[in-house]
Amino acid sequence: MRDEKRTHVGTACAAYWLGRKQQTLRSWACFEDGPIRPIRINGRLAWSVDAIRRLMGVEGIQ
């Protein structure tokens, strides 16, 4: 994650980093009740790398 250059990642990558199942993240997006919210790009979910870092408590590490 430290070397990640993208601003947003897909659901599979975000779920791996957060230690959650992909369906959990999809549920957060659907019900808008999760700790982070994705954006939609052409119908796909894109999760902010900065938001994931903040959630994990590693925002200062780049």
Residue 3 lies in a domain: no
29 found inside a domain? yes
Could you give the CA distance from residue 51 to residue 35 in angstroms, rounded to a whole number? 9
Report how far apart, in Å, the C-alpha atoms of 13 and of each of 10, 47 are: 6, 9
Rounded Cα distance between 37 and 14, Å, is: 11
Residue 60 has pLDDT above 80, yes or no: no
pLDDT of residue 61: 57
The total domain count for the chain is 1
Domain that holds residue 48: 8-56
The whole model's pTM is what? 0.89
Average pLDDT, the chain: 93
Cα dist from 36 to 3, 6, 30, 57, whole Å: 21, 17, 12, 13
With respect to residue 12, please indicate whether it lies within any of the assigned structural domains.
Answer: yes
Total residue length of the chain: 62
